[in-house]
Chain A
Amino acid sequence: MSALLQFLIAGLKNGAIYSLVALGFTIVYAATGAINFAQGEFFMLGGMLGVLLVNLGLPLPIALLLAVVGTAAIGALFEVLAIRPIADGDPLRIIMVTIGGSVLLRQIALHIFGPDEVPLPPFTQGTSIKVLGAAIELQTVWIWVLTAIAMVGLFLLYRRTAFGRAMRATAINREAARLVGIDTRFMVTASFALAAGLGAVAGLAVAPLTQTAFDVGAGIGVKGFSAAILGGLGNPVAAVGGGLILGMMESLTAGYINPLYKDAVALVVLLAVLFVRPQGLFGGSGREKV
């Protein structure tokens, strides 16, 4: 019983991380109609910037905040430099640019931070909490808290602010949004910044548990995308659901079948969803109209 509980906790922990990355995919997909292959690199950049700032002697909370803001700024800059010049907004070209961008961001990180894994200190020191015989590390609690804050914040932003309404309008119909006076180009930039910031939060939250390195982006990118498409691409609530379910499936597979298969779960899920139910678990009809 406590073993199962321990697996569920691990699943929810990883699942929360996947949810954040999946949200990043969803936000950019909504704004551009394209899959952002650089999403995983924002996760990596968040963690690496955090480590860098802590090593520079900044207090941890400030380092974390700056790392998130810095990654969001890099996301916005990437959009302005590389996505905005694509005047026709062709998703194929956007995808290609994000593929090139992910390679480039990873390489830049390699040149700056080196090839080694680096640690980030836990956000709070202390022993794990015991619940019904299962242990929950304090950092896991932090992951859940940060994920919850990010989600509530995103919800409020989307539902309660003029900015959020403008973003949603842009996502639903870019042309119509432009006609009613929304600066849709800025909204695309904002979506990249937001997606990058969410990725950075995830990368920072998990770094004290796993360490981080220049090449962690590709793996988490595929997992985050699996989560997004498992839920249903383009729907934020579904992305979170997909992340949590994927985390559970991974940890139950690792616990009860074979830890070797853990990393294969997300890949198999991704392929299976594409083949069997491309609109995702929570999506309506996946058919697009002509």
Chain B
Amino acid sequence: MSWRTLRVAVPFVAAVAVAALPFVVSDTFLLKVFTYVGINVVVVVGLALLFGYAGQVSLGHSAFVGIGAYTCALATVRMHAPWPVAFAAAGIVAGAGGMVLALPSLRLRGHYLAMATLAFGELASLAFGEATPITGGVDGFSGIPFPSLGPLVIRSASGLYWLVWAVAGIALLIASSMVSLRPGRAMRALHGSELGAQACGVDVVGVKVRAFVISAVLAGLAGALYASVIGFISPSVFTVSASVTFLAMAVIGGTGSLAGPVLAAALLTLLTYLDALIPGISRQAAQTVQSLQADVYGLAIILVVLFAPGGIGAMWRRKSREGERA
């Protein structure tokens, strides 16, 4: 099979496989695990644009996930908003937060955004924990309703799975047309050479800010999905180390690629639920893997940056280039 066909066939087969999974997997917990994979994919698609295309580092994306989750919770529980409205609000509020953070820090040359997002992330998790009257504080926020579209309430494991992956699929479609056209070229251009990009009339700050806002919106939507699927949220989920995990997925997945980060998101998420995936695995082995998880993220970031700066995405591109030439 030629590389050109592969490039069309692989996403198609992957999409069919993802859509058909609930017919094959009957175990509810396993289906939930794959639902979490989908939620993380939504976040990582945004980070792939931000890091992999525009070359910007965020250590605060779990804060946007949190903002989305709390927005959805407040809108549905306190304000009795219809779910689609709450879902949209989650994206809008997170995106607005992203804009407020990105505009000033991206005006500066150098990589201040990484520190600004780290501070924002810490501040957000303090706020989630301390603003008890609004967020429920450290005890969390419970009773968040399932997603619903008018009278149709989605509560079955397979329904939730399909909803989440539908959002992930749409996010991927939108992102992939964006990167193959003008905006993606602009992002890759400024990542390659800011001077060159400016000389081509690219609005360098504007493109970075837009990439950041889009990634914040997607994180916010992922947060709303998370809150609605689980029904309960607490500050312990939206921490800086969760942000580092998202970043690790984007880094390992690679630059200039969407498929790479999606694959990395899936693999790293599944690693957390090893005992559910491999039936025979001993509890202790699963726990060992889990306790070493952060080590793996840290080490993987270092190794990828040092030895394979393009990550999975670049490896795939190189192979496919060689394949085409051969």
Contact = CB atoms under 8 A, between A and B. Distances in A.
Contacts of B55: 92
A268 B120 CA distance: 8
Interface residues of B, number: 41
A82 B111 CA distance: 19
B298 interface: yes
A96 B251 contact: yes
Given A97-B302, A271-B116, A264 B111 contact: no
Given A82-B306, A95-B57, A96-B305, A274 B247 contact: no
B52 to A, nearest CB: 12
Contact of A99 (B126, B301, B309): B301
Contact of A271 (B123, B195, B251, B300): B123
A249 to B, nearest CB: 15
Contacts of A111: 291, 295
Interface string A72-116: 000000000010011000011101110111111011100100000
Contact of A286 (B108, B294, B301): B108
A35 interface: yes
A226 B15 CA distance: 45
Given A97-B305, A99-B244, A103-B294, A226 B119 contact: yes
B109 interface: yes
Contacts of A33: 110
A12 interface: no
Contact of A103 (B109, B112, B297): B297
B119 A35 contact: no
B59 interface: yes
A225 interface: yes
Contacts of A264: 123, 126
Interface string A226-242: 10010000000000000
B301 A97 contact: yes
A183 interface: no
Contact of B123 (A99, A102, A268, A288): A268
A267 interface: yes
Identify the 6 closest CB pairs spanning chains A and B, nearest first.
A103-B298, A100-B301, A104-B298, A275-B104, A100-B302, A267-B123
Given A107-B294, A108-B295, 11 more contacts: A92-B111, A96-B301, A96-B305, A100-B299, A100-B302, A106-B298, A107-B292, A107-B295, A219-B122, A264-B126, A266-B119
